[in-house]
Amino acid sequence: MKKLYITFYKKTILCYNSSMYFRKSLSLIIAKTLIKFLRTIGRGGTSLPGKLALKIYPNILKELSSDISSIVVTGTNGKTTTSKIISTILEQSNMSFISNKSGANLISGIATVFIESHKKNYKYALLEIDEAAFKTVSKHIDVRYLLVTNLFRDQLDRFGEITHTLANIVEGISNCPLATICINADCSLLSSIGKQVNNKIIFYGINQPFPSTDYSLSDAPYCFFCKTKYDYSYRTFGHLGGFSCPNCGYKRITPDIAVTTLKVMNEKYSKVDLIVDNNKISIKINLPGEYNIYNGISAFSIGYALNIDYKILISSLATFKSGFGRMENMSLNGVDTNIILVKNPAGLNSVINYLSSLSKPFVLTLILNDQFADGTDVSWIWDVLFENLISNINMISHIYISGIRKYDMALRLKYANLPEEKITICKTTKQLINIISDPLLVSNTSYILPTYTAMFDLRKSLKKQFKLKEFWK
Amino acid sequence: MKLTIAHLYPELLNLYGDGGNLIAMKNRLNWRNIECEIVKIPLGHPFNAKHYDIVFIGGGQDFEQEVILKDLKGDKTKQIIDAINNDVTFLGICGGYQLLGNYYKTKDGQTYDFIGALDLYTIGQEKRMIGDFMFSSPYINNKLIVGFENHSGKTYLGDTVKPLGIVKKGYGNNGEDKTEGARFKNVFCSYSHGSLLPKNPLLCDYILQTTLQKKYNITLSDLDDTLENKAHDFIVNRF
Ligand SMILES: [Zn+2]
């Protein structure tokens, strides 16, 4: 008789009967009980149950997900916002689906989602998957639609180099030959996937530069294939744009879904014109910021791949509400508060571009943590162009800094030569919340930019103090 | 008064916030009313070392090393070696540090010849050496320097090169002999990328002082480093 040891809350249980059927049932029972237990005691319970179930029965995810078509969103930035838009599209199309809403995007979180919906007959799963975890998760699930949002430098201490991340994604795609893949045509790294796999590919892109294009930043200046410097006819953001290699001829291809005109970009939304299959379509994207135009059209491309009516796509993009921490809007004692997750230079630079365009006064809060999920190396803040905030410094009424690495962040702002009298370091989250939720101190709008674990801490404290809803619901 | 800094391959060797070192040098000069110009020398552009007081080389991804080696061959290598022998200040971080050495042998046994300006070499290995680390440096009265290292190459120093410091926590050059970084003439090298100079104002000022002394024979005035020291001490207190 085989022995099976299970370690559960530091106690090891020894089970003698370990036939496959027994293991599967056991893993389901334990995981489901654990989900209930964790919810009861007020914890999210989004990863641990799946982790344990996979340990007991490694095939659990594969078996539970075999009849479900998975729509996967991966890439460096914009995964959660894009997933949120896609979920609105699916809801408005009356399609039944499960999803990992709260950003538990490693294999354990994905397994938890399928365990929860076991025997509930869903047809689709909308899954946001970590770009490094994708190659493993894709072995277990049936990926039919894949969106790769973009590739930027992100937490290199965890992922290694950007080309390794790309290689991981390509390896993951080899596990899902049936998947239709939606790719950003403006990204020279991702566009190369088209030359590396045989899947059906839908390209989306933007045919003109963003107003705030900064030509100094690029994560991929040299040809992916021959290492010659790219020529650009225009750039939108970072290394994205109309690239072409003068040596080997590798270049941006004309996207299937192309933004032809940027019509309106204001503090609440953007309006753009698209060309799809020779049809001209006007769309409104219900979030401000240039980078959210990419998020909008990438979600559109998944809807297009799913053959969903343009009318539904247009109304979903115009009405969706942003997800957990991605420009989440709330009122704290009447203070209009916006939380925007920041985790890498490309993402934070685009938020700074956005903040620099605001014409009403606001309070800015930066919370920098350095736990595993944030990236343990905080050096990336030196790649962020905080100097660009100076152009709009009159609109910034004050800057608060908090988090484990608050002194590093404060130092960065000192070296960006932002006015010292406008900067205050808060030692605790409690102290910070008391200040930024005080309408006497914050008269208008407040933007809070936390890293990943800082966002969880903040959300937990806000939930307690202001009775906000549970994040996993 | 003015110092001119050359930033070699800014579009390629710019990982992990290495630019923070330039930001630190420029500000700490400006705050003392000394001008500072940073000149970017991208791939394919000519480099005349005579025009610069400090040359900065940061770290990059392996993908880009080959492109750079091709560009360095010939005149650029000669310019760099001559400049070092003429006591020009260099700051090499991570990949930039390795490039100044003799060669890099990959974990697959392939050898790349580097500039050969400093007597040191690097051996690639599977395991990356990653994390906060700390070393003491004789150039700042054996005080502590803190940083974050992230490298898979193990670097070994020859006899003519001195280490920048002695490792107290973390790996340093190779995780074996307790040395970290390198000092040769006015060349300073370290595996601590990102905010090496912002968080270690003593080292930053030592490098600037070395350069200014040669050019103008002046002594730097003091700055208020309260915040720099708080960020520095946070890491020291972690260990
Ligand atoms: Zn090429």
What single-letter amino acid sits at A281? I
DSSP A148-216: E-------HHHH--HHHHHHHHHHHHTT-TT-EEEEETT-HHHHTHHHH--SEEEEEEESS--TT--TT
Tens digit of pLDDT for each residue in B143-160?
999 999 999 899 999 999
The residues, any chain, with a CB within 8 Å of residue A52's CB and separated by 6 or more, are A6, A8, A27, A30, A31, A34
What's the pLDDT at A216? 62
Handedness of CA A370, A127, A23, A120 (dihedral sign): positive
- Residue-wise over A419-445: b if at least 16 C-beta within 10 A, else e? eeeebebbeebeebbebbbeeeebeeb
Higher pLDDT: B79 or A155? It is: B79
State residue A254 phi and psi, 5-degree precision: -65, 120
Instruction: Look at A383 and B19 and tell me if their CB atoms are within 8 Å.
Output: yes
Residues A446, A351 within the same domain: yes
Q: Which pair of tokens denotes residue A74?
A: 């991966």
Residue A334 lies in a domain: yes
Select from B156, B52, B170 the least CA-distant residue to B102: B156
Interchain proximity A414–B227, CB inside 8 Å? yes
User: Do A310 and A347 share a domain, yes or no?
Assistant: no
Residue A244: inside a domain = yes
Q: Which residues of chain B are within 8 Å of residue A161 when distances are taken between CB atoms? A: 61-63
Q: Are residues A82 and A151 in the same domain?
A: yes
Exactly one of B7, B193, B204, B232 is catalytic; which is it?
Answer: B193
Label residue B175 by pLDDT band (50, 70, 90).
very high
B194 closest CB neighbour out of A153, A162, A377: A377
Cα–Cα distance, A163 to A225 (Å, whole number): 11
**Residue of chain A minimizing CA distance to B228:** A411
User: Within 10 Å of residue B181's Cβ, how many Cβ atoms?
Assistant: 27
Please name the amino acid found at residue B141: N
Question: Is the Cβ pair B231, A382 closer than 8 Å?
Answer: no
Q: How far apart are CA A128 and CA A384, in angstroms?
A: 26
CB contact B193 to A (< 8 Å): yes
If one counts the domains in chain A, the total is: 3
Residue B12 to residue A162, Cβ atoms within 8 A: no
CA distances from A440 to A43, A118, A400, A401, A443 (A): 33, 50, 15, 19, 6
Given a cut of 60, is residue A15 above it in pLDDT?
Answer: no
User: A123: how many CB neighbours lie within 10 A of its CB?
Assistant: 11
Question: pLDDT higher for B203 or A23?
Answer: B203
Residue-by-residue DSSP string for chain B: -EEEEEEESTTTS-GGGTHHHHHHHHHHHHTTT-EEEEEEE-TTS---GGG-SEEEE----HHHHHHHHHHHTTHHHHHHHHHHHTT-EEEEETHHHHHHSSEEE-TTS-EEE---SSSEEEEEEEEEEEEEEEEEEGGGTTEEEEEEEEEEEEEEE-TT-B-SEEEEES-TTTSSS-EESEEETTEEEES--SSHHHH-HHHHHHHHHHHHHHHH---PPP---HHHHHHHHHHHHH-
Distance of alpha carbon A344 from the chain centroid: 11
**Residue A312 has which token pair?**
């539904």
Residue B24 to residue A229, Cβ atoms within 8 A: no
Residue A16 contacts by C-beta under 8 Å, 6 or more apart in sequence? A1, A2, A3, A4
| Cα A142–chain centre separation | 21
* Residues in a beta bridge with A464: none
Q: How far are the Cα atoms of A262, A379, B180 from residue B173, in angstroms, in the given order?
A: 51, 19, 5
Answer yes or no: is pLDDT of B74 > 60: yes
pLDDT reading at A168 higher than 90: yes
Q: CA nearest A414 in B: which residue?
A: B227
Q: Tell me the three state secondary structure of residue A391.
A: helix
Q: How confident is the model at residue A37 (pLDDT cuts 50, 70, 90)?
A: confident
pTM of the model: 0.74
Facing residue for B130 by CB, picked from A157, A161, A383: A157
**Does residue A176 lie in a domain region?**
yes
pLDDT tens column, A221-261: 889 999 888 999 999 988 999 999 999 999 999 999 999 99
Compute the mean pLDDT over every residue in chain B, rounded to the nearest whole number.
93
Q: What is the pLDDT of residue A251?
A: 96
Last residue of a domain, one of A284, A302, A319: A319
User: Is the model's pLDDT at A454 over the cut of 90?
Assistant: yes
Rounded to whole angstroms, the Cα distance separating A338 from A340 reads 6
CA distance A44 to A266: 35
- Whole-number Å distance between alpha carbons of A47 and A35: 9
Residues A95 and A156 placed together within one structural domain of the fold: yes
Tell me which H or E stretch contains A69.
strand A69-74
For residue A121, the 8-state DSSP code is -
Whether chain B has a CB inside 8 Å of the CB on A390: the answer is no
Percentage of the residues of chain A whose pLDDT score is greater than 70: 90
The CATH number of the domain holding residue A240 is 3.40.1190.10
pLDDT digits (tens, 9 = 90+) for B102-144: 999 988 888 999 999 999 999 998 888 999 999 999 999 999 9
Residue A216 forms part of a structural domain: yes
Residues A232 and A98 occupy one common structural domain: yes
Residues A104, B15: Cα–Cα separation, whole Å: 28
pLDDT band at B84 (very low <50, low <70, confident <90, very high): very high
Examine the fold and report which residue of A16, A39, A58 is the final residue of a domain before the chain moves on. Answer: A58
Give yes or no: residues A30 and A102 share one domain: no
User: Six-digit token pair at A211?
Assistant: 């107003």
Residue B14 has pLDDT above 70, yes or no: yes
CB atoms within 10 A of CB B136: 15
B32-36, B60-64, B172-176, B229-233: the lowest-pLDDT one: B60-64
Chain A, chain B: beta-carbon pairs less than 8 Å apart: 90
Dihedral over alpha carbons B212, B214, B219, B221 (to 10 degrees):
10
Q: Is residue A459 part of a domain?
A: yes
Contacts of A95 (CB under 8 A, 6+ apart): A123, A124
For the domain that residue A455 is a member of, what is the CATH number? 3.90.190.20
In a domain, A472, yes or no: no
DSSP A229: B
| Residues A437 and A313 grouped into a single domain | no
Q: What proportion of chain A, given as a percentage, has pLDDT over 90?
A: 53
Q: Do A229 and B43 touch (CB under 8 A)?
A: yes
Q: How many CB atoms lie within 10 A of CB A214?
A: 15
Predicted ipTM > 0.85: yes
| A407, A414, A425, best to mutate vs chain B, most B CBs in 10 Å | A407
Helix (H) or strand (E) holding A406: helix A406-415
B152–chain A Cβ distance below 8 A for any pair: no
A380 touches chain B (CB under 8 A): yes
Range of the domain at A368: 326-466
Distance in angstroms (rounded) separating the CA atoms of residues A335 and A440: 10
Of A43, A58, A73, which residue constitutes the final position of a domain?
A58
Question: Which range scores top for mean pLDDT: A105-114, A387-396, B62-71?
Answer: A387-396
Q: Note whether A238 and A286 are same-domain residues.
A: yes
Report how far residue A437's alpha carbon sits from residue A434's, in angstroms, rounded to the nearest whole number.
6
* Average confidence (pLDDT) over A74-81: 88
pLDDT at A13 over 60: no
Q: Which residues contact B119 (CB under 8 A, 6 or more apart)?
A: B101, B102, B157, B158, B159, B160, B161, B184
> Within this chain, do residues A209 and A120 fall inside the same structural domain, yes or no?
yes
pLDDT of residue A1: 44
Q: Alpha-carbon torsion A158, A110, A61, A70, what sign?
A: negative
Residue A4 pLDDT > 70, yes or no? no
Kindly state whether residues A54 and A65 are assigned to the same domain: no
Within a domain: A471: no
Task: Name the maximum alpha-carbon separation found in chain A.
Answer: 74
For residue B205, what are the contacts with CB-CB under 8 A and spacing of at least 6?
A: B28, B220
Does the distance separating the beta carbons of B132 and A222 come in below 8 Å?
Answer: no
Of A58-62, A210-214, B32-36, the range with the lowest mean pLDDT is A210-214
A187 and A332 housed in the same domain: no
* pLDDT exceeds cutoff 70 at A326: no
pLDDT tens digits, residue range A270-314? 999 999 988 999 999 998 888 899 999 999 999 999 999 999 999
Residue B135 Cα, gap to closest chain A Cα (Å):
17
Q: Distance between CA atoms of B155 and B182, rounded to whole angstroms?
A: 10
What's the CA gap between B232 and B148, in Å, rounded?
A: 12
To the query of whether residue B193 is one of the catalytic residues in this protein, the response is yes
Structure confidence at residue A471 (pLDDT): 46
Contacts of B24 in chain A (CB under 8 A): 415
Give exposure, A241-280, as e/b (b: 16+ Cβ within 10 Å).
bbbebeeeebbbeebbbbbeebeebeeebbbbebbbeeee
| Cα-Cα-Cα-Cα dihedral sign, residues A301, A305, A310, A312 | negative
Task: Find the catalytic residue in B94, B151, B204, B232.
Answer: B94
B204 as an active site residue: the answer is no
Q: Are residues A305 and A366 in the same domain?
A: no
The answer to whether A189 and A156 have CB atoms below 8 angstroms apart is no
